[in-house]
Amino acid sequence: MEWYEYVLKRLLLFVPTLFGVSVFVFYLVHLVPGSPAVAMLGVRATEERVQEIERELGLHEPLPVQYVDWFSGVLVGNLGQSYSFNGPVAPILADRFFVSLELVLLTLLVSLSVSIPLGIVAALNKNSAVDYFSMGVGITGVSVPTFFSGVVFIAIFAVGLSWFPVSGYVAPTEDLVENLRHMVLPTLTMTLVAVAVAMRMMRSSMIETLGEEYIRFLKAKGLRSRSILFGHALKNSFIPVITVIGLQFGYMLSGAVVVEQIFAIPGLGRTVLQAVLQRDYPLVQGSVLLLALWFSAVNLGTDLIISYLDPRIMEEEA
């Protein structure tokens, strides 16, 4: 299979997935027991107001009609009205997307620059102190609840040492230094998990690569270990790391909900949570849809990059 064929195939498969995602998100409102309008407004709402909301949501129409109405709105960026924010959903999400994007990118930057070297060193010195240390970091990182590490970091670095603010957010356009100061603890909290996942992957893929036939051949040929490492092994063990970036995105977007909530950062994750707590269904639908789209687009992107770098993957999947 040629690469462009593979890309085409994956893009074609992406269409039914997106369709399924949109149906799922649309149908969420209809899973609500009783009327979603009553759920949103509370039991003391007047009959008039309930009917008004039901009309607004188009709940009296047959389901397929409702879906088409809703989805054609989504396609032109009309995600409905948020009741808790008293305004259209789309612009709210647009603002918040960039806040979360900054958090995710900072986390990715820090976690990769820690986990890649640590993973390599651990793989090269298997069963050494460094290796055990990295294994410890790995197990701890995936076992500490994000909310717990966040709370502990606040206790130490914000309440105890007062190095960083306890919570809050400053836009980077307003004051970049303050923005970064507010981002340190949230990033650190997210990084803990991200490092653990990436480092374990880096370590195991490096060990696997070093054990392969061609590396032993290069050694037998008398090539220096440094040039084997940097010239050959590293390139091939980076492929799983790209997979990890895709994988981490899921953890990061899930983690963002918790971290943004603890540190009061107005990102997408906090928006989903608030929408759920307020039973603001149009906002739930919009933010869940955007997060799913973001996540699956990144996954698709990383898969395509990997298949370009390592064509064998296309054959395995076929």
Partner 1 sequence: MATEIETQQTTGRDESQLRQFAESFLENKLAVFGLFLILSIGVITLFAPQIAPYEPRTQNYDAILEGPSAEHLFGTDNLGRDIFSRVLYGYQTVMTITLGGVMMAFVLGTSIGLTAGYRGGWTDQAMMRAVDVLMAFPSLILALALISALGPSKWGVLLVLGVAYTPIFARVARSEAVSLREEQFVKSLEVRGASQSRIVFRHILPNAVGPLIVTITLQFAFGILTTATLSFLGVGVQPPDPSLGRMLTEGKDYLATAWWYSIFPGLAIMIPVIGFNTIGDGLRDTFDPRQVNR
CA angle 92, 68, 299 (to 5 degrees): 60
Give the footprint of partner 1 on this chain (CB under 8 A): 13, 16-18, 20-21, 24-25, 28-29, 31-33, 135, 139-140, 142-148, 151-152, 154-155, 159, 200-201, 203-204, 207-208, 249-251, 253-255, 257-258, 261-262, 272-273, 275-277, 279, 281, 284, 288, 291-292, 295-296
On whether the CB atoms of residues 151 and 262 are closer than 8 A, the answer is yes
Nearer to partner 1, 32 or 242 (CB): 32
DSSP H helices in the chain: 3-31, 36-41, 47-57, 63-75, 89-124, 129-143, 146-153, 176-210, 213-220, 225-228, 234-262, 268-278, 281-309, 312-317
Smallest separation, CB 135 to partner 1 (Å):
8
Question: Rounded to an integer, what distance in angstroms lies between the CA atom of residue 37 and that of residue 55?
Answer: 10
Nearer to partner 1, 31 or 177 (CB): 31
Smallest separation, CB 300 to partner 1 (Å):
10
Question: Rounded to an integer, what distance in angstroms lies between the CA atom of residue 143 and that of residue 136?
Answer: 11
Smallest separation, CB 224 to partner 1 (Å):
26
CA angle 265, 266, 271 (to 5 degrees): 120
Smallest separation, CB 200 to partner 1 (Å):
7
Smallest separation, CB 315 to partner 1 (Å):
15
Largest CA distance in the chain: 84
- What the block records as the tokens of 64 is 């397929």
Nearer to partner 1, 159 or 176 (CB): 159
Nearer to partner 1, 223 or 293 (CB): 293
Nearer to partner 1, 81 or 222 (CB): 81
- SS3 (DSSP) at 81: strand
Smallest separation, CB 141 to partner 1 (Å):
10
Smallest separation, CB 219 to partner 1 (Å):
19
CA distances for 246 relative to 16, 58, 225, 296, 301, angstroms: 20, 37, 31, 9, 8
Nearer to partner 1, 29 or 188 (CB): 29
Nearer to partner 1, 25 or 229 (CB): 25
What are the backbone dihedrals phi and psi of residue 169, each rounded to the nearest 5 degrees, phi first?
Answer: -145, 140
